[in-house]
Amino acid sequence: MPLRFTLRQLEYFVAVGEAGSIAKAAEQVNVSPPSISASIAQLEAEFGVQLFVRKHSHGLSLTAGGRVFLKEAARLLADADALHDIAGDIAEKVRGPLAVGCLLTFAQILLPALRRKFEDTYPEVRVRQFERNQGQLLELLQRGEIDVALTYDLELSQDMAFEPLMQLPAYVMLPAGHALAARMSISPEELVDQPMVLLDLPFSREYFLSAFQQKGLRPNIAERTGDIAVMRSMVANGFGYGIANMRPLNTLAPDGKPLVFVPMDGELRPLTMGVAMPNAEHRTQTVQAFISHCRRFVGEQGVFGTERVVG
């Protein structure tokens, strides 16, 4: 006897399973709670299993069978999305879902405007965005939870492809009025005794510290933060210098105080910003369109000042 259920019912079930309540799931999928309740009841009747334990004060909890069902339902929905991609490729259309990761350090500067233009150009694409640090982005790519990541060429494994977009040299970030602010460039030797505000993120911290380590120096780390905006404000308020590979067009800290960006001397290699993705023989039309869009956007917008665009 054929089973009678719809992908829409599975979508509602997965939304409830992940949200833990019908009300939250209804907001996410923009459907009324009664419609979601009815869909779940139909699924339970069709398959003859109880998917949730209903708790009046704590929403819904998945049963043991419901957890297994959730995993398979999510896989079926992913397969259905893949069919959309294949259909789009056959029809030479850019459409379907696209999960985009972006490195935390430049997401606020790059991602919103880049995404806005992409969605305006390709309205049939449904974009979801994830702002993470480098280690988290690589994990999401390896698990297949995102399709592409806008990031640096740091610690990429051999099973990752990387499309370069722009080279970003290292800059020393200083408060206006600092004794070194008028310099044309600054070396690690000149910074080693100055207090440093370290951007303390996986892979990024090792890169910044290598500027000193390769010269046998140990920087004076006065403060650490995992938030680029906090680092900029701490530098602007005199807690120390920072090192970053981006020089925003607006050189004010979040609290409005001015910053100065001076090129860093030494052997610290420029980072290359680009699009990372799993190695695959076939790229969907949507992924390829996103890469091409990124190339155009970075070249036209000059989002990081005058750094060189990789051809």
What CATH number has the domain bearing residue 160?
Answer: 3.40.190.10
149 with 278, same domain: the answer is yes
Q: Domain boundary at 24, 54, 88, which?
A: 88
Q: Which two tokens stand for residue 101?
A: 């990761």
Tokens linked to 129 = 């965005």
Lowest-pLDDT choice from 2-11, 199-208, 269-278: 2-11
Q: Alpha-carbon distance 176 to 250, whole Å?
A: 14
Q: Rounded mean pLDDT of 125-152? A: 92
Domain assignment present for 206: yes
| Average pLDDT in the chain | 86
Question: For position 29, what pLDDT does the model report?
Answer: 81
Q: Does the pLDDT value for residue 141 go beyond 60?
A: yes
Average pLDDT of 267-284?
87
Q: E strand or H helix at 127, and its extent?
A: strand 125-132
Q: Same structural domain for residues 189 and 257? A: yes
244 and 187: one domain? yes
Residues 302 and 6: their CA atoms lie apart, in Å, by: 46
On whether residue 308 sits in a domain, the answer given is no
Q: Which residue shows structure tokens 């310099």?
A: 183
Tokens of 50: 């109880």
- Helix 22-29 × helix 33-47 angle, to 10°: 110
Does residue 306 form part of some domain?
no
Structural domain harbouring 219: 171-263
Q: What is the largest CA-CA distance in the chain?
A: 81
CA distance 168 to 155: 16
Judge if 249 and 175 occupy the same domain: yes
